[in-house]
Amino acid sequence: MSLKNNIRSFRYSDEVAGILEGFTGNSLNEKFENIILYCFWERKKIDKQIAQRRKELDRLHEECREVRERLYEYETFEADKNRLSAALTKVALDVIDYEEKLKASMERDIVTQTDLPDLASMPVECVTKVG
């Protein structure tokens, strides 16, 4: 140990006396100095561990943010897929309905625009079995 130029006298409780007596050292002064140095260096280690844990926590927060963002994108894609699926189902049903109307009109020998009202924007044409 280094030269000890600081001479002090102080009072302490029985609890502190028990802690000091239990610490390593040959004299009360040595025990007191050892416990102070031990606490000082342990505090440095703990502060370093806290800084590392905070850095890890920040990394985990960023990772969670990225996962939440991907989940939001996935849910958005899922909703878009469901809307497109519903639209395709409607188109398929419209095609089936159109084919049924066309078949029925062909059986009657003529197709008119009124038979296929969904085609109102198309020019009026008549089709017969003969051509």
Residue 105 contacts residue 116 (beta carbons within 8 Å): yes
Q: How far apart are CA 33 and CA 12, in angstroms?
A: 15
**Largest distance between two CA atoms of the chain:** 124
Per-residue pLDDT tens over the stretch 87-130: 999 999 999 988 888 888 777 766 555 555 555 555 555 555 44
Three state DSSP letters for 66-124: HHHHHHHHHHHHHHHHHHHHHHHHHHHHHHHHHHHHHHHHHHCCCECCCCCHHHCCCCC
Per-residue pLDDT tens over the stretch 5-34: 777 788 999 999 999 999 999 999 999 999
Q: Please state the rounded mean pLDDT for residues 67-86.
A: 95
Residue with tokens 């006298």: 9
Domain definitions of the chain by residue range: 14-119
